[in-house]
Amino acid sequence: MKQYTVAILGATGAVGQEMIKILQERNFPVGKLIPLASKRSVGKTVSFRGEEIAIAEAREDAFAGVDIVLGAAQNAIAKEFAPAIVKAGAVFIDNSSAFRMDPKVPLVVPEVNPKDADWHSGIIANPNCSTIITVTAVNALNSIAPIRTMTASTYQAVSGAGAGGPVELMNEVEALREGRSYEPKVFSHQIAYNLIPQIGSESFEGYTTEEMKMQNEGRKIMHLPQLKVSCTCVRVPVVRSHSISVSCHFDVPVTVEQAREVIAGAPGCKLVDDLANKSYPMPLDTSDQDIVFVGRIRPDLTDENGLCLWCCGDQVRKGAATNAVQIAELLVKE
């Protein structure tokens, strides 16, 4: 099998580290791994297949000879280096939001729209984590009837805010146990024993940037340009795995039995739906793996053409790193 030179832009961050782990787990044909980060990380190493590989500085000349770049850096870094990556002839699979809504850049979830990766011009965007988990869970319903609208509430783990999120949660819990005060640094309010109903800044009519991604990215991924989504994004004191409550609305009735059947057979999904035996998707069960669990499928009592469901998925893996590696696998397969 052909071997590929793969660079990780942002190799020292949580998603970059997970990308390296998943390349190894999935036995991706890496001939040479090039971990890239800022100048202050030069001299450190990352482990890959039993070898310690030195981190190189992310510079415009760092992409010569590279086949695939997995981006795990912030928007500004992605925008800075994208021209150099494309010029070098590599394909940039970017996890930031910098290119997601660019009409010239495909936005891909391999279980949903793999063929969109075919028309890239050097850049492929990785969607938002909650969007990936949600569309993986609901896309199969489009085979019964196209989804017209969705109402969603996300319950997003603290690790979605970066490595500092779980640290802050644990520190707050310990401080409260000991009767000490703790000034939040990562989140705008105390997250321990609390919920924060804002992720992102205000974007449209009181909806945040994070909330609008579900509609805007969902339209592009599922090829539903008229899809309308009302979304509320909430940060919850869970360490890992995002959960989403979704009501899908169609132009015709879709039965619970139909939904269960297509979701059970959908790629990347696992049906976990047995209320009588208290079996349903939960963050603890979906962490550190790549399948989206779907359950609590039931009629929407406000709409005879609606269905409600609950899904959970690991936002660091399927919601970010694994999805990017899966896109790279599409390129290798072609």
Work out how many domains the chain is built from and give that number. Answer: 2
Are 61 and 161 within one domain? no
Q: State the pLDDT at residue 143.
A: 96
Average pLDDT over residues 213-242: 98
Which one from 120, 129, 248, 312 is the annotated catalytic residue? 129
Please list the alpha-helical segments (H only) found in the chain.
Answer: 14-25, 75-87, 129-138, 164-178, 209-222, 256-264, 283-286, 322-333
At residue 279, does pLDDT exceed 80? yes
At residue 66, does pLDDT exceed 90? yes
At residue 1, does pLDDT exceed 90? no
Percentage above 90 pLDDT, the chain: 98
Are 108 and 226 within one domain? no
Are 303 and 176 within one domain? yes
Q: State the pLDDT at residue 68.
A: 98
Are 237 and 299 within one domain? yes
- Cα 44 → chain centroid: 27
Q: State the pLDDT at residue 43.
A: 86
57 band by pLDDT with thresholds 50, 70 and 90: very high
At residue 334, does pLDDT exceed 90? no
Q: E strands of 68-171, at which residues?
A: 68-71, 91-94, 123-125, 149-156
Which one from 120, 231, 233, 242 is the annotated catalytic residue? 242
At residue 235, does pLDDT exceed 80? yes
175 band by pLDDT with thresholds 50, 70 and 90: very high
Q: Is 129 a catalytic residue?
A: yes
Angle between helices 14-25 and 322-333 (to 10 degrees): 50
Q: State the pLDDT at residue 251.
A: 97
Are 190 and 119 within one domain? no
Are 35 and 163 within one domain? no
Q: Are 161 and 186 in contact (CB under 8 A)?
A: yes
Average pLDDT over residues 38-63: 95
CATH of the domain at 83: 3.40.50.720
Are 226 and 281 within one domain? yes
Q: Which tens digits make up the pLDDT trace of 291-300?
A: 999 999 999 9
Q: Which tens digits make up the pLDDT trace of 70-98?
A: 999 999 999 999 999 999 999 999 999 99
Backbone region of residue 249 per phi and psi (left: phi > 0; alpha: psi in -120 to 50; beta: other values): beta
Are 171 and 189 within one domain? yes
Are 211 and 310 within one domain? yes
Average pLDDT over residues 263-283: 98
Task: Give, as one character, the DSSP assignment of residue 196.
Answer: B
Are 226 and 183 within one domain? yes
Average pLDDT over residues 175-180: 96
Side-chain half-sphere exposure of 132, counting CA atoms within 13 A: 33
Average pLDDT over residues 136-148: 98
Give residues with Cβ within 8 angstroms of 22, minimum separation 6.
Answer: 28, 317, 321, 322, 325
Alpha-carbon radius of gyration of the chain:
20
Q: State the pLDDT at residue 24.
A: 97
d(CA 163, CA 71): 17
Q: Which tens digits make up the pLDDT trace of 257-267?
A: 999 999 999 99
Which range of residues forms the domain containing residue 53? 4-127+320-333
Q: State the pLDDT at residue 96.
A: 97
Burial of 253 (0-12, 13-18, 19+ CB in 10 A): middle
Are 238 and 295 within one domain? yes
At residue 194, does pLDDT exceed 90? yes
CATH of the domain at 232: 3.30.360.10
Are 38 and 142 within one domain? no
Q: Which tens digits make up the pLDDT trace of 119-130?
A: 999 999 999 999
End-to-end CA distance of the chain: 13
Q: Is 242 a catalytic residue?
A: yes
